[in-house]
Structure 1
Amino acid sequence: MSDIMRPIPFAQLMDWILTENAEKGSIFGIRKIVRHEGGAEPIFAEKIETPFGPAAGPNSQLAQNIVASYVAGARFFELKTVQVMDGEELSKCVAKPCIVAEDECYNCEWSTELEVPQAMSEYIKAWWACKLLARELGLGDPDGFVFNMSVGYDLEGIKSPKVDAYIEGMKDASGTAVWAECLEWANANLDRFQNVDADFVNSVSPHVSASVTESTLHGCPPDEIERIATYLITEKGLNTYIKCNPTLLGYDYARERLDGLGFDYIVFDDKHFREDLQWADAVPMFERLIKLTSERGLSFGVKLTNTFPVDVTRKELPSEEMYMSGRSLFPLTIHLARKISEEFDGKLRISYSGGADAQNIKGLYGAGIWPITMATTVLKPGGYERFSQIAHVLEGVERKSDVDVAAVAALDESVATDHKYAKPIKPAPAHKLDWPLPLTNCFTSPCRNGCPIEQDIPAYLAAVDEGRLADALAIIAERNALPFITGNLCPHPCGTKCMRAFYEPEGAAIRASKLKAARGGIDELLATIKAEGAQAVPGAEGKNVAVIGGGPAGLACAFFLTRAGAKVTIFERKESLGGVARHIIPAFRISDEDIDRDVELCRAFGAEVKLGVEVTDVAELKADGYTDVVVCTGAWAPGHVGLEYGDEIDVLDFLAAAKSGLDLSALGTDVVIVGAGNTAMDAARVAKRLPGVQNVRIVYRRTKRYMPADEEELAEALSEGVELCELLAPKGVADGVLTCDVMELGEPDESGRRSPVATGKTLEVPATAVICAVGEKIEDGIYEAAGVQTDRRGRPAGCETGVEGVWAAGDCRRGPARFVDAIADAQEVARKMCGVDFSKYAAANVRAGHESDCYERKGDLRLGCAGCQKSSGCLGCATVCEACCDVCPNRANVSITVPGLAQHQVVHVDGMCNECGNCAVFCPWSGRPFKDKLTLFWSAEDMGNSTNQGFLAQPDGSFLVRLASGTGAYDVDDASCGLPEEVRLTIKAVRDSYAYLLAK
């Protein structure tokens, strides 16, 4: 199987660590190495410098995982659970991929996939590596960290010779073969150290662990839980935690709390709540165990909490049940912490793991809850280096011996108002690009590639962050003719692709930075345009273009074409330019002053304007000498609800009337908006502001999760008091009442969208006026007169309409769409009509020489500090991506520098991968790095068991290389060997500069 992990011998492990640190300044990719200088605090009979680390899970399974956590600042390690079922037997039970941590985390694995003796070896190797690194690199007290065992799941299995040998070997490893291996290597390699000597090596304690967390599967009877704990305390002499399940809270509480936070789509029944440990049994058990450990001079505590079992309903993982963790688990875990701390007056030790991260750990620790272990946060981009930030967050926080009951209660109560724990109203759009993952050279700008105009986002964000606003605006304006309109109103589809959105939901400040650049740089840019003039393009010579419509599409066409040297005249039937942005969008969303600046920019290269002129016949313009005509008339024809009776008001007529200040008192007290797009949200918010209007309701036949409106637009409307009436389909309005069919959602289609189905019931909604906002239509007069063929929705074939010299852009080409789509159409017109190239700043997205800046940002959440908010938050993915490297618990994806290639390359190390799938979740491409990246194999057997394209070192110095084209042996020093150059150079770099990656 290609998912088998091959533990690294201690010699190779240490060679990797020491060589990488000496040559690259990193350890297993961790550059933010944390050094503790403040001393260590007692825990059990040991001590820890910081009270946090990885939870028992994917981040504490292999030696390199633990080392990565240690150098990033962690000092409490809850080792992955061992049980009597292990190795191949267990692996067959774990469906792969087994982790998806895109938002809240789900997994379907529960204990180490290694054999139990292998697991012990990994932990002992990690113990030695951390001791040596502590002394050699001055990372802190070599005795300032703790390894906490985790065992499960029944007493018979824990008493088995295999698990018993593990427990005894961890208590005293001196008699184990792996201890001898580590000790021998350390003494034989003292010359590789500056600060480690023989005395230190021989003083390393073999007592690897003196504590244990009892892990109980759901359904474990309370008497079995107590028997296990009693055995671990009395027979094994271990400080003991019992891992509690969130099911202790009861089904009703869990369902109500998750529903209230927007996690109503998470499916579970009351099975585990009935079968798991009950509160009435837990409290007296804990009291007995507290007494038992006290009598033996040991410590007892509870671990909060286990993951939460839920059903697989959306093909999240290839199993029927999965385990939930992360931010959706925090509201349950913190409430259970409150309940337990109140019951025991803060005297029962609480070890915490349930959605902890940099944003809440200070509050948890300050409340006396520690140690704190984490998995979900370090499974996200930034990975283990999120621990580095957490180490600094906790600096100076006073450690408490008891739990502060009031502080825990406050944390619990804060959940209801903290947006961090609330699921967005609507599901997040897909973040992946719809392109296959390249074998090499994969660093890209997902935000740029997710933008309809491929705005050079990393380039302009860097300029804004450096205060170069005019430079930033020049970059923006190369592709975007409307920086003010888009800076205010763009729904920023780029943001759904932004890697920063995996740190904080809002992602990088892309739109806000654009507006900042526009307002700060417009005067200088206009002066530059005036001084330098058009950027003449040969294809524009002799072009005399008529643009029909002075809205966003028409303005953008005029800007791009006149900049290229074409002559352009805009014909606008109204008395001012700006289209929907000017005449429809409410002033509280964009000011006339901002629209004026975009108009000024679009006319800066000399576009002429004729206002108050309506064009109905393209032939007349051609007869007047225009070589090309671009139709940019928008979509102004009204849509219709289709009421069976009663009148409806067109939303554009309503918004135009409201913006022009007309008297709308005839609307009455109760206004109903039918529709669920952004225009409907605008109408609702405008209506809410009108004198005399008391209630504004949006009627929608589906639920809010399926609304086309942007999340922020819906949220604004709801925050202003607009009422959302879901699952209602309007029938007719009469006598101040809108009668609606009551709907329900049917079964999901292949896309997951559930169509509404009538229930046969009706509901009456007060309605003195009904405004229709269900999609405007395209006026077809100009197309018909020009002989342009259109589809059933009135749309031409594309920007090239099929009629020579007649073009289309904007809503009259697509139907109602976003402003950025209108600009994309204008780009296409300019590209195809005149050969305009918009790639002037494309290379500036990659900031060669600024890699260190990108690495510095990795792992750091924006915690609200003033300094954090001054920057855009851009991670610089085009310069350094490495998301797949960040999120790999096992460090199986490695970024290397390849001489001769501009980008770093990602190499996948097969022997370190168990195909958990986490890297596939976060890769911006539609690919799976653990399958699709160039793979380094350690053996012919593993290469034969895999289908990956990759390479294997041969005894004669050549490499066996498998690519899509076939398999062969190659001399990578021979430039003419036949390998693609990127592949050849990458393999050569591994051999020459990263030999520690190769099997010894």
Structure 2
Amino acid sequence: MGKVTGFLEFERLQEASEAPQLRKKHYKEFVVHLSDANAKVQGARCMDCGIPFCNNGCPVNNIIPDWNDLVFHGHIREALENLHSTNNFPEFTGRICPAPCEAACTLGINDDPVGIKSIEHYIIDKGWENGWVVPQVPTAKTGKKVAVVGSGPAGMAAAQQLARAGHDVTVFEKNDRIGGLLRYGIPDFKMEKSHIDRRVEQMKAEGVTFRTGVFVGKDFTPNVYNWAKETISPDQIKKDFDAVVIAGGAEMPRDLPVPGRELKGVHYAMEFLPLQNKVVAGDKVKDQLLATGKHVIVIGGGDTGSDCVGTSNRHGAASVTQFELLPQPPEQENKPLVWPYWPTKLRTSSSHEEGCDRDWSVATKRLEGKNGKVEKLIAARVEWKDGKMVEVPNSEFELKADLVLLAMGFVSPVQGVLDAFGVDKDARGNARATTDGDGCYQTSADKVFAAGDMRRGQSLVVWAIREGRQCARAVDEYLMGSSVLPR
């Protein structure tokens, strides 16, 4: 790779970011991509390791050593072409992917891994800055029509690939803007939505049609992140199109069945986060759920919980506490045991750095309040014995709570959509479809395919992009008998 001894000479460099007390005052991104000189040095750290485990650690199989080498030599446009060959939207993953590629980096066995995510961030941002990201209009049209239901990363990736193959693609989105959970599930301080908007413009130039405010399915119920104004039946979609890709997100949140759950002030995370995104976008939101001046408790230790922490701090919460049911992970993983797989270790997000009391091995027992409004949370310590979780005797405690946010993950896609299409489901309520062999990504319903969260359940943006790309190839093969699209 670029510099044979680079990994011995140079240390890993973190991207610069705005100080926590300053960035809490706004909703803009606060991480700055690497300078040209620093990107060159970070690219030099990539080893000539022989077997690039990072390539397999990455769900879209980015050809990481190659673009690290190109960055080291200053060939940024060629690095961008390499990056785009496997990833339609590296500006998304370069900002919000947890970087399983870095966990698989060979250098990470006994040193800090290569800063792959920061280099990816640098490459794509330089591409946009220099006008290198342009529409790829197909040279010929096939005459085939494909509907993509859902405009998150899986739907966008599938739509872009299919349009580049020459098909007429229409994307249906139930919300008022394109992007799915990228748009309304991820705060702007992690990823500004202009990144989605300019990709939409690129895709329009490539021939993709977008229809917002349209719900495809049955039993439509308007809620805080469902703003459809029109409903179309799956039968009509199947009649009008030669193939259908259902690529919605996993939007059925896990509930907390404890006494007091019905009290006012207890909400799902996705009743809280999307409204702030709409406000940032310039919308007038009536009765926005705010954390201002409140004692906030976030139940759930994952990314969604972290997003609730960051948003609550920006609202000006009086205090923010985050609980996790599982024990606190170790600060350092056992690398000889887990490498090159994703390790379990303590992870502190940028939102945690901005202010948050974190606690582990805590189970919520009940919520209490007056006049129908929550005022406190009663919890207890738990531990694992013989493979079972048990409450620690005499460990009950209470905390003041004006706002309780449930961020315990998502159990499945919206069932009404899958039921309306009549597809078989797996034990977890996802659309049943394989990812290899004949008929991959195809559901039990005629000419209906599934990808992303709709097929695999709640997962990462990078997995959604992978599945959207692979599903597009499967649809192209189904329509044309063969495909030149990459998997």
TM-score (norm 2): 0.74
* Aligned partner (choices 701, 708, 714) of residue 325 of structure 2: 701
Whether 1:809 and 2:413 are equivalent positions in the alignment is no
Deviation readout 1:480-529 (Å, 9 max, x if unpaired): 11111111111111111112223533x212112222221211364444x4
1:366 match: none
Partners of 1:581 and 1:712 in 2: CA distance:
25
**Offset at residue 604 of structure 1 (A):** 4.2
1:819 match: 461
**Offset at residue 449 of structure 1 (A):** 1.1
Partners of 2:403 and 2:60 in 1: CA distance:
39
* Aligned partner (choices 731, 737, 742) of residue 381 of structure 2: 742
Amino acid at match of 1:520: K
Partners of 1:471 and 1:710 in 2: CA distance:
35
1:489 match: 96
Write the mapping of 1:787-806 to structure 2, written as runs, cut at 5 A: 787-798=422-433, 799-806=441-448
Distance 1:602 1:454, change over 3 A: farther
Distance 1:445 1:603, change over 3 A: farther
1:765 match: 399
Whether 1:723 and 2:357 are equivalent positions in the alignment is yes
Partners of 1:599 and 1:716 in 2: CA distance:
28
Write the mapping of 1:767-782 to structure 2, written as runs, cut at 5 A: 767-776=401-410, 777-782=412-417
* Aligned partner (choices 452, 457, 463) of residue 64 of structure 2: 457
Distance 1:727 1:713, change over 3 A: closer
The answer to whether the Cα contact below 8 Å between 1:677 and 1:709 also exists between their aligned partners in 2 is no
Task: State which drifts further: 723-732 or 631-640.
Answer: 631-640
Amino acid at match of 2:52: S
Amino acid at match of 1:794: G
Partners of 1:602 and 1:703 in 2: CA distance:
44
- Greater C-alpha radius of gyration: 1
Partners of 2:131 and 2:139 in 1: CA distance:
17
The answer to whether the Cα contact below 8 Å between 1:495 and 1:508 also exists between their aligned partners in 2 is yes
Residue 444 of structure 1 aligns to a residue whose secondary structure is: coil
* Aligned partner (choices 628, 644, 650) of residue 268 of structure 2: 650
2:367 match: 733
The answer to whether the Cα contact below 8 Å between 2:363 and 2:380 also exists between their aligned partners in 1 is yes
**Offset at residue 660 of structure 1 (A):** 2.5
* Aligned partner (choices 115, 124, 129) of residue 518 of structure 1: 124
1:578 match: 179
**Offset at residue 667 of structure 1 (A):** 6.7
Write the mapping of 1:527-566 to structure 2, written as runs, cut at 5 A: 527=134, 529=135, 533-534=137-138, 541-566=142-167
Amino acid at match of 2:258: L
Write the mapping of 1:500-511 to structure 2, written as runs, cut at 5 A: 500-502=107-109, 504-505=111-112, 507-511=113-117
The answer to whether the Cα contact below 8 Å between 2:152 and 2:182 also exists between their aligned partners in 1 is yes
Partners of 2:349 and 2:415 in 1: CA distance:
35
* Structure 1: stretches of 5+ with no match in the other structure: 1-30, 33-380, 391-441, 750-754, 841-1000
Write the mapping of 1:103-502 to structure 2, written as runs, cut at 5 A: 443-502=50-109
Partners of 1:460 and 1:775 in 2: CA distance:
34
Partners of 2:292 and 2:268 in 1: CA distance:
13
Partners of 1:664 and 1:786 in 2: CA distance:
34
Amino acid at match of 2:248: T
Partners of 1:789 and 1:490 in 2: CA distance:
30
The answer to whether the Cα contact below 8 Å between 1:676 and 1:698 also exists between their aligned partners in 2 is yes
Which structure would you say has the larger RCO, counting Cα contacts within 8 Å and 6 or more residues apart?
2
Write the mapping of 1:11-30 to structure 2, written as runs, cut at 5 A: none
2:311 match: 686
Amino acid at match of 2:278: S
The answer to whether the Cα contact below 8 Å between 2:329 and 2:345 also exists between their aligned partners in 1 is no
Residue 297 of structure 2 aligns to a residue whose secondary structure is: strand
* Aligned partner (choices 224, 229, 235) of residue 619 of structure 1: 235
Amino acid at match of 2:257: G
**Offset at residue 583 of structure 1 (A):** 1.6
How many equivalent residue pairs?
391
Partners of 1:811 and 1:461 in 2: CA distance:
30
The answer to whether the Cα contact below 8 Å between 1:667 and 1:768 also exists between their aligned partners in 2 is no
Residue 832 of structure 1 aligns to a residue whose secondary structure is: helix
Amino acid at match of 2:376: V
The answer to whether the Cα contact below 8 Å between 1:547 and 1:558 also exists between their aligned partners in 2 is yes
Write the mapping of 1:650-669 to structure 2, written as runs, cut at 5 A: 650-661=268-279, 662=285, 663-665=288-290, 669=294
The answer to whether the Cα contact below 8 Å between 2:367 and 2:378 also exists between their aligned partners in 1 is yes
Amino acid at match of 2:171: I
Distance 1:623 1:534, change over 3 A: same
Residue 175 of structure 2 aligns to a residue whose secondary structure is: coil
The answer to whether the Cα contact below 8 Å between 1:675 and 1:773 also exists between their aligned partners in 2 is yes
Deviation readout 1:387-428 (Å, 9 max, x if unpaired): xx69xxxxxxxxxxxxxxxxxxxxxxxxxxxxxxxxxxxxxx
Deviation readout 1:534-560 (Å, 9 max, x if unpaired): 277xxx944311001111111111111
* Structure 2: stretches of 5+ with no match in the other structure: 11-48, 218-232, 280-284, 332-341, 370-374, 434-440, 478-482
**Offset at residue 601 of structure 1 (A):** 3.9
Distance 1:678 1:710, change over 3 A: farther
Residue 705 of structure 1 aligns to a residue whose secondary structure is: coil
**Offset at residue 463 of structure 1 (A):** 2.3
1:435 match: none
Partners of 1:827 and 1:814 in 2: CA distance:
14
Partners of 2:167 and 2:358 in 1: CA distance:
49
Partners of 2:292 and 2:368 in 1: CA distance:
14
